[in-house]
Amino acid sequence: MNISQMVQGLVDPMGIPFYPIVFIILSVLTFAIHIMFVNFVVGSAFFAFYGAIKGGQYWSRLTKSLIKVTPITNSVAILIGIAPLLFVQVVYDPFWYVSNTLSAWWVIGFILFLLIAYSSAYVFYFKYESSPGVGKLAGLIAVVMFVLSAYVMHSLNYQALLPEKWLSWYIKGLEVDTSGTSLHASQIPRLLHFLVPAFAMIGIYFMLYAWYFSKREDFSADYLNWVANLGAKLALYGSLVQAVVGFWWLLSVPSKFSFHTNPFFILALLSAIVLIAYLFKAQKNPISSAVPSIVLAFITILFMASAREALRLLYLTEVNYSPFTYKVNIDWGSTVLFFATFIMGLVIVGYQVAVAYLSGRQTRVLEETPQLRKWGSLSIALLLAWLVIVAGLGIIITIRNFF
């Protein structure tokens, strides 16, 4: 049996419940959102620790904010990250499951590392002022564990792209290695391509921070200008370093793919050039440039996520695999329920974001407008309806299966 036959043998014979292009588009979109928040997590954790070490009036105040932000952005990154992971398991299941099996201990370790990082971020938050030494140590542990988690996930994804090496990783000499204790592949430029943007994205976050609190009377203009200027510089220099890393990573891509001519790569490159050009301009007025900067950054991330997906498809064509040939068994029930849940989630999360946004921009207590009240009532009604429908379907299916 050759590698192509082996991969085809691992494909789920039941097929998938909807068209693969839909899963791929959703995977790219949700991955882009996920990796943006991952950048926020790494960036906020790093600069919270840096600010705690550096000290000073402005850094101390910014550090307090970053300490609060890190657990929140981490929660969002994990929540959003579930979506692209599930989509990968649907259309790339032979590759993802084998990679996880080969490094099973590290898959479990990834969860442990995240738990330690998350817990350490909270210890940093609670102990930063009362026990500075303990707080700083916790902050350092959080940074290290977040980076280690990123490294593990990078390795698992990269291993999935190299099915021609699976057998040599599994069988060493005359012995079969079923321990799952090894990470078998990594690529430094590829890893840095996902980590370096943390400095650029946290820079844009600083710009947004200054823009957001500019309406508050309890935030001085000098402090906000300092944060905004710091952020603009970080965003620009971080993006320039990212560009260098990006070309380093491009050189590590097999030349047979001619990836530099791929339309998705060209779009990602052009969007990155536009972003860097705008960040040069943003140095003059970082606060007013904050919102356009994050919009351009997300567009760039989205194109880069698309290029990443295109590259994965090129890797897998080497073993004659294409998700577009996956057997499709349309299941309208689960598909409709999925998209209805997705839309409902946007409405509910949108209400929570709106309340949080309006509450933080003013010092007085938020006065609920009629529109906001209706939005909240709709969110509660949708959530109750969803619970009734899902529970009802579960009961009906259970009864039918029983009889």
Tens digit of each residue's pLDDT, the chain (403 residues): 578 888 888 888 888 999 999 999 999 999 999 999 999 999 999 999 999 998 888 999 999 999 988 988 998 899 899 999 999 999 999 999 999 999 999 999 999 999 999 999 999 999 888 888 999 999 999 999 999 999 999 999 999 999 989 988 988 777 888 888 889 999 999 999 989 999 999 999 999 999 999 888 888 999 999 999 999 999 999 999 999 999 999 999 999 999 999 999 999 999 999 999 999 999 999 999 999 999 999 999 999 999 999 999 999 998 999 999 898 999 888 888 888 888 888 898 888 888 888 877 776 666 677 888 888 889 999 989 988 888 888 888 888 887 7
Judge contact between 60 and 49, C-beta under 8 A.
no
**pLDDT, position 363:** 64
Distance, C-alpha 96 to centroid of its chain: 18
The tokens for 239 are 């993006």
Kindly list the distances between the CA atom of residue 132 and the CA atoms of 71, 122, 129, 268, in Å, as whole numbers in the listed order. Answer: 19, 14, 6, 43
**pLDDT, position 244:** 94
**pLDDT, position 364:** 64
Domain ranges in the chain are: 3-172+184-330, 331-403
Judge contact between 51 and 62, C-beta under 8 A.
yes
Judge contact between 77 and 34, C-beta under 8 A.
yes
CA angle 58, 61, 62 (to 5 degrees): 85
E strand or H helix at 171: strand 171-172
**Residues 6 or more apart in contact with residue 152 via CB below 8 angstroms:** 106, 107, 109, 110, 113, 183
> Phi/psi zone of residue 131: left (φ > 0), alpha (ψ -120 to 50 degrees), beta?
beta
**pLDDT, position 175:** 81
Of 296, 313, 312, 306, nearest to 265 (Cα)? 306
The tokens for 202 are 């946290």
**pLDDT, position 367:** 67
The tokens for 245 are 């890393």
Task: Give me the amino acid identity at 321.
Answer: Y
Q: What is the pTM of this model?
A: 0.92
Give the separation between CA 198 and CA 41, rounded to whole angstroms.
Answer: 8
Give the separation between CA 121 and CA 188, rounded to whole angstroms.
Answer: 26
Torsion angles phi and psi, residue 52, rounded to 5: -65, -35
Task: Give me the amino acid identity at 143.
Answer: V
Judge contact between 233 and 203, C-beta under 8 A.
yes
